[in-house]
Amino acid sequence: MNYQGLQDLELLELVGEKDREALAELYDRYGRRVFALAARMLNDSVSSEEVTQDVFMSVWRRGGTYASNKGKFTTWLFSIAHNRTIDELRKRKRDRSRQNDDIDDHLNIEAGDMSPADAAVAQSEYAKVREAMDDLPTEQKQVIELSYFKGLTQTEIAEKTDQPLGTVKTRMRLALKKLRNSLSTEMGAQV
């Protein structure tokens, strides 16, 4: 079977039938994105690999239950990845054993090789999202960075930025709406 020619949802259906090749193809398509998100948030190779493995095992176990009418597969996948990574971040905070609040550089990440074509696509996606982020007002950008990439709750953001909780919520909502406007036309069809 030519798995590379199948759509995401067709692959997901095969994953529901416990087809490992289908899962491998989904991993080939989105594994690096999931890993990059985890690495960006955790700054730790081992944890990022664990999160990525957990995410795809979740796809393996829950693939058959995915309902396409609830949104795109990638939205679902990245949501799983983001939530799983935030779980890891908050677990660290509880443990207080591995803080990374002030670390932005990926100094501890052991990365694999990426084909030139994949690297070009990834760089293009990254540039578009960062451009959209940079277009946000500074306060809104900060809220998105702290919530999405740092895993802070709204209350934690309010405390960190010394802003009322309501202001944080409003900025978060406005930021997502502006990001949607700028990203949906350019990238809506890509992932």
Partner 1 sequence: MTGSREENQAFENIAGYVLNSLDSDAEREEVEELISTDSAAQREHREMNETAGLLALGAEPMAPPARLRTSILDQTRLDNPGAKTQAPAGLVSRLVQSGYAASAIAAILVLAVAVTVGVQNSRLNNEVGQLRNKLNSELQVVNALREELESSKTDSMAMVNQMESEMKKMESDFGSTLAQVSHQEQIVSELSIANNALVQALRDQSWLTYVAMKEGYQVESWLANQQVPSDASGLIAVRVVGNEAVFQVHGLEQPLPGHAYTLWLIDNGGPNPVAQFSVSEIGSATVAFLLPAPLYLYSSVAVTQEPIGKVDHNPSGITVLSTETK
Cα–Cα dist 170/177, whole Å: 11
Report the nearest approach of partner 1 to the CB of residue 39 (Å).
5
* DSSP states along 24-81: HHHHHHHHHHHHHHHHHHH--HHHHHHHHHHHHHHHHHHGGG--GGGS-HHHHHHHHH
Cα–Cα dist 190/186, whole Å: 8
Which CB atom, from 139 or from 149, has the smaller least distance to partner 1? 149
Report the nearest approach of partner 1 to the CB of residue 125 (Å).
4
Report the nearest approach of partner 1 to the CB of residue 161 (Å).
13
